Amino acid sequence: MTTSLSGQELSQIVSEAVPDSVAEWNERDIFIKPESWLKVARLLKEKAELDFAFLNAVTVVDYIEFFEVVYHLTSLRHNHSAVIKMRCYGREEPAVPSVVSIWQGADFQEREAWDLMGVRFDGHPNLKRIMLWEGFPGHPQRKDFLR
Amino acid sequence: MTLKTEPVTINIGPQHPSTHGVFRMRVTFDGEVVVDVEPVLGYLHRGSEKLAEERTYTQVVTLTDRLDYVASMSNNLAYVLTVEKLAGIKPPDRAMYLRVIAAELMRIASHLVFTGFWLNDLGALATPLMYCFREREKILDLFEMLCGARITLSYMRPGGVFQDAPEDFWPALHRFLEEMPNYIDEYEGLITGNEIVLVRAKNVGILSAEKAVNSSISGPILRASGVEWDLRKADPYEIYDRVKFNIPFGGVGDNFDRYFVRVQEMRESLKIIEQCVEQVEPGPVRSEVPFLVRPPKGEAYGRVEAPKGELGFYLVSDGGIAPYRCKIRSPSFINLTILRDILVGWKLADMIVTFGTIDINMGEVDR
């Protein structure tokens, strides 16, 4: 059975190694401050007791007041999983750091999130639309997108 | 005298028989050698995730059929499992067995489609495909008995399945289980030891285990690279913890391993179905669930081992009758990440063969 690490365990480990990086945590997941996300991501992947080598999914959820970027991670060696979240405010051009340099599997998913949700992933090597064509007006998966 | 050469960029697809649907690649060649590949997606984009936000939890099942249309049962299963996780529904035992039987039959059908089309890509035009489709047809007949449909099945519902298997399903399934191992032997006799296949597939398009994990590759491709990771064993859902089976995995991660892992998986699936048929007991097939499921506020990530890899659904509920957000983590889409890495450096003819072993389905890539 895959065990899921609780937000408490994770936030302890993360805030010990990268101080002032956890914005909030609850039982299931932790919220990371976008500016320290790259450091935290590298820690999650490289720390032997965490070993999150496998990135399951990158999701962006539009809550109107803010966008929530959700990362589902799994460690194939320890068979445990974690949910990491980030909140970014503002509807004009919200941005979070890209993790393609750490997990290559994020490549297409970040492009998709940019295409459909309009969240910019800073540092992505090839951030352009993937499902729709260049020049498509707006980002259709947003809650306020009108036809 | 020196000849002046320059790289040539060729467009392959979206209407090309070897691109398995409407996939398009922009490939740059230096002579016959691939130097760059750029996948172009989106020709079949229907916005399934957005459509799901406008439908009730039960209605979304029909949308999942149209993701990977050669493996609809697995999509149904992944979706209903996530809804059950979100709403805290427990399906009855018989329903879980029926679902696993259906999902494993679907896995065999999907791998048969892979085998046939891959041989097509190798240049063995149409004949192997007809052999594979002969057996796939038998599986589709079984599904027709279960739910009346052959491709867009919509057999599963949150809380169980649409209806119990009819009387004549069980003898037909039994007959299929008896015949199928001989058919797999037949394919193996024709393909596995075939000299042309071996020359074309062995040590071609190698993907290392480290690269595969880092690129979020899942399913048979990951296992062919030597990583023993199967969600049915690692994170058992439904009744997979009650059946015995092995995880086939390869050593090199070349085209041949990717083919061979799938053939062995078909045999393991037959084993699972046999055990399910022995263990299944009469009983209800659907728990009391209202037509309009209203899960409490919250979120859930559910995943299954689909024929192509890890199929996951991430559902967010705001307490209403429709999901607030429905993210589909489709294996075909993410498996394409390594396309460039495994094609660059190989020749044009190997390109098509290697691309074939990734086994993508455009309905799932574009959603």
Question: What pTM does this model have?
Answer: 0.90
Nearest chain B Cα distance for residue A59, angstroms: 7
pLDDT above 90 covers a percentage of chain A that reads 10
Query: How many other CB atoms are found less than 10 A from the CB of residue A105?
Result: 27
pLDDT at position B272, please? 92
CATH number at residue A88: 3.30.460.80
Residues 316-345 of B with CB under 8 A from A: 316, 324-325, 327, 329, 333-334, 336-338
Which residue segments constitute the domains of chain B, with CATH numbers given?
8-365 (1.10.645.10)
- Nearest by CB to A57, which of B211, B217, B329? B329
- Cβ proximity of B241 and B103 under 8 Å: no
ipTM of the complex: 0.89
Helix, strand or coil, per DSSP, at residue A70:
strand
Q: Can you state the angle between helices B255-279 and B93-122, rounded to 10 degrees?
A: 150
Domain residues for the domain of A74 are: 3-122
All residues of chain B having their beta carbon less than 8 Å from the beta carbon of residue A116 are 49-50
* Number of structural domains chain A divides into: 1
Cβ contact, residue pair B216, A56, below 8 Å: yes
Give a yes or no: residue A29 inside a domain.
yes
Chain A residues bordering chain B (beta-carbon distance below 8 Å): 1-2, 53-57, 59, 61-62, 70, 72, 76, 79, 83, 103-109, 112, 116, 130-133, 140-141
Cβ contact, residue pair B301, A141, below 8 Å: no
A57-115 pLDDT, tens digit each: 999 998 888 899 999 999 888 888 888 898 888 888 888 999 998 998 898 999 999 99
User: Across chain A, what does the average pLDDT equal?
Assistant: 86
Q: Which two tokens stand for residue B222?
A: 């990951």
Q: Which of B46, B235, B334 to mutate to test the interface with A (most CBs of A within 10 A)?
A: B334
Cβ contact, residue pair A103, B316, below 8 Å: no
Nearest chain A Cα distance for residue B222, angstroms: 11
Q: Which amino acid is at A134?
A: E
| Alpha carbon distances (Å) from B48 to A144, B55, B138, B275, B291 | 17, 11, 30, 35, 21
Q: Which two tokens stand for residue A139?
A: 């980002």
Task: Report d(CA A140, CA B53) in Å as an integer.
Answer: 13
Please report how many Cα atoms fall inside a 13 Å half-sphere around the Cα of residue B354, on the Cβ side.
Answer: 25
- Nearest by CB to A54, which of B216, B324, B327? B216
> Is B150 part of the contact surface with chain A (CB cutoff 8 Å)?
no
Give a yes or no: residue A69 inside a domain.
yes
Nearest chain B Cα distance for residue A16, angstroms: 25
Q: Can you state the angle between helices B127-147 and B93-122, rounded to 10 degrees?
A: 160
Would you write out chain B's pLDDT as a tens digit for each of its 367 residues? 787 888 889 888 787 777 777 888 899 988 888 998 988 888 889 888 889 988 999 899 999 988 888 889 999 999 999 999 998 888 999 999 999 999 999 999 999 999 988 888 888 888 888 888 988 999 999 999 988 888 888 899 888 888 888 989 999 999 999 999 999 998 888 888 888 889 888 888 888 888 899 999 998 999 999 888 888 888 888 889 889 999 898 888 889 999 999 999 999 999 999 999 999 888 888 888 888 888 888 889 999 999 998 999 999 998 889 999 999 999 999 999 888 888 888 888 888 889 888 888 888 888 8
Task: Report d(CA B137, CA A117) in Å as an integer.
Answer: 41
